Amino acid sequence: MSNVIVLGSQWGDEGKGKIVDLISDRFDVVARYQGGHNAGHTIIIGPKKFVLKLIPSGILHPGKQVVIGNGLVIDPVALFSEIESLESAGINVAAQLRISDRAHVLFPAHQLMEKRIHIGTTSRGIGPCYEDKAGRRGIRIADLLDLESFPALYAELMEEKITVAKAFGIEGPTSPETVRSQYQALAERLRPMVCDTAEFLNATIKQGRSVLFEGAQGTMLDLDHGTYPYVTSSSATAGGACTGTGVAPTRINGIIGIAKAYLTRVGGGPFPTEALNAQGEAIRERGNEFGSVTGRPRRCGWFDIPLLRYTAMINGFDSMVLTKLDVLDEVDQIPVCTGYRGFEGMPSTVRDLERAEPVYECLPGWRTSTEGISRYEDLPSKAQEYVTYLERKTGVEIGCVSTGPERNQTIIRPNSRFSDLTR
């Protein structure tokens, strides 16, 4: 049995939720390793639509064990709102979910602190919560459950927030006492689900059972390897799966990158292949490219080979899943960026990336519907050529192609690394 990491290879929203849901039945446990409720993973099952933010996308399989790892930041109010909506759909979340005692707790004051950050974040308090983690003043789930110590830890953290709020002219955290008692009440509901998830995951692996690690965001939003400072505050890359769960790299058998057949980005920051024209708008409409968390229109553009080669290197992809191929069905000539004029590799500063001028090659479109196709040989030949072109240029196999949001709108290529890893 394989332990596999599935993560975003671009700027997020590549369709990770759909793919993790699709392959979850082949794994014993599904574990999220970073981020918070900035993520929005949409899963469509027949007439039902689920948008998961903190809970791993395996939860929709009855009885599947899922884990929120130590690498996440958890807003308990957001978590319980998600739990309640899943429970109202008949899912027994309490029986399936384990939460790390070492994950960090996100408070309303974190959201307030985000007023100082102007890069187009999701305004959920994610960055400030990770700042507290790195600043070694954060409060973890285990601290929240510690009835004796929590009030003093919380008071100390709020004192710091009030000082910062005053200094920056932000309206101070409102009623910290109300928040404290609300969080303490929620802590009691969390308690039965909390454990040392690193112990649980390592024991699972030791018993010969398999774990699927689910990333949030995407490699280009990774704090170290993304388009800094226009990034999120956690490690979305493959390395983050180990630090974010406490499972060693030696236990990982494969890494799968999810890539959209074109490119999108939400929020600020450089985007060399952005299509600021009618074609970009057409993709936004056809691909329904509006943020699942904030509803913001996603910026749309063309597949970027240098970006993908870079993220394949950082993550060591064994295979890629190409999603939303059907969204390109009506494009006559599909531009693909093959390089940045004047740059080798990925520029390290956003100034350089903004200056990077993409060089395009145009591939002929197929101008016919691929929606729902589930066998590779049924794809129009020009769509197959698009897939093999991207494979050749990125140097990574495309083991799976997605042709619609539903589980059955998927092609799994036999004899691929993807099919081996998800067998």
Instruction: Enumerate the active-site residues.
Output: 13, 41
Q: Work out the burial of residue 151: count CB atoms within 10 Å of its CB; fewer than 13 is exposed, 13-18 middle, 19 or more buried.
A: middle
Distance CA 311, CA 220 (A): 8
Provide the minimum distance between the beta carbon of 263 and ligand IMO in the complex, in angstroms, as a whole number: 12
Among 3, 5, 7, 8, binds ligand IMO (CB under 6 A): 8
**Residue 120, interface with ligand IMO (CB under 6 A)?**
yes
Q: Whose Cβ is closer to ligand IMO: residue 14's or residue 326's?
A: 14
Among 31, 83, 126, 314, binds ligand IMO (CB under 6 A): 126
Distance CA 296, CA 299 (A): 9
Distance CA 377, CA 298 (A): 32
Nearest to 35 by CA among 92, 104, 136: 104
User: What do you get for the CA distance between the two ends of the chain, in Å?
Assistant: 8
Q: What is the DSSP letter of 71?
A: T
User: How many residues form the binding site for ligand IMO (CB under 6 A)?
Assistant: 21
Nearest to 418 by CA among 380, 377, 386, 376: 376
Q: Whose Cβ is closer to Mg ion: residue 189's or residue 296's?
A: 296
Interacting residues with Mg ion between 37 and 96 (CB under 5 A): 40
Q: Which stretch binds Mg ion (CB under 5 A): 25-33, 34-42, 223-231, 233-241?
A: 34-42
- Residue holding tokens 């059907």? 326
**Residue 217, interface with ligand IMO (CB under 6 A)?**
yes
Contact of residue 100 among ligand IMO, ligand GDP, Mg ion, none (CB under 5-8 Å per partner type) = none
- Contact footprint for ligand GDP (CB under 6 A): 8, 12-18, 40-42, 44, 292, 323-324, 326-327, 402-405
Binding mask 317-346 for ligand IMO (x = CB under 6 A): ------------------------------
Q: What is the DSSP letter of 33?
A: -
Q: Whose Cβ is closer to ligand GDP: residue 77's or residue 293's?
A: 293
Nearest to 44 by CA among 64, 26, 21, 25: 21
Q: Whose Cβ is closer to ligand GDP: residue 42's or residue 70's?
A: 42
Total length of the chain: 423
Determine how many CB atoms are found less than 10 A away from the CB of residue 369: 12
How far lies 353's CA from each of 80, 228, 270, in Å? Answer: 40, 11, 6
Provide the minimum distance between the beta carbon of 244 and ligand GDP in the complex, in angstroms, as a whole number: 17
Provide the minimum distance between the beta carbon of 149 and ligand GDP in the complex, in angstroms, as a whole number: 36
Q: Whose Cβ is closer to ligand GDP: residue 12's or residue 226's?
A: 12
Instruction: Return contacts of 144-150, CB within 8 angstroms, 24+ apart.
Output: 144/76, 144/105, 144/183, 144/184, 144/187, 144/190, 145/101, 145/187, 145/190, 145/191, 145/194, 147/184, 150/184, 150/187
Binding mask 1-20 for Mg ion (x = CB under 5 A): ------------x-------
Provide the minimum distance between the beta carbon of 236 and ligand IMO in the complex, in angstroms, as a whole number: 8
Provide the minimum distance between the beta carbon of 410 and ligand GDP in the complex, in angstroms, as a whole number: 8
Provide the minimum distance between the beta carbon of 8 and Mg ion in the complex, in angstroms, as a whole number: 8
Amino acid in position 308: L
Report the sign of the C-alpha dihedral through residues 116, 120, 123, 124, in that order: negative
**Residue 220, interface with ligand IMO (CB under 6 A)?**
no
Contact of residue 266 among ligand IMO, ligand GDP, Mg ion, none (CB under 5-8 Å per partner type) = ligand IMO
Nearest to 334 by CA among 398, 278, 262, 403: 262
Among 4, 20, 23, 39, binds ligand IMO (CB under 6 A): 39
Provide the minimum distance between the beta carbon of 14 and ligand IMO in the complex, in angstroms, as a whole number: 7
Which residues contact ligand IMO by CB under 6 A?
A: 8, 12-13, 38-41, 120-122, 124, 126-127, 216-218, 221, 232-233, 266-267
Which residues contact Mg ion by CB under 5 A?
A: 13, 40
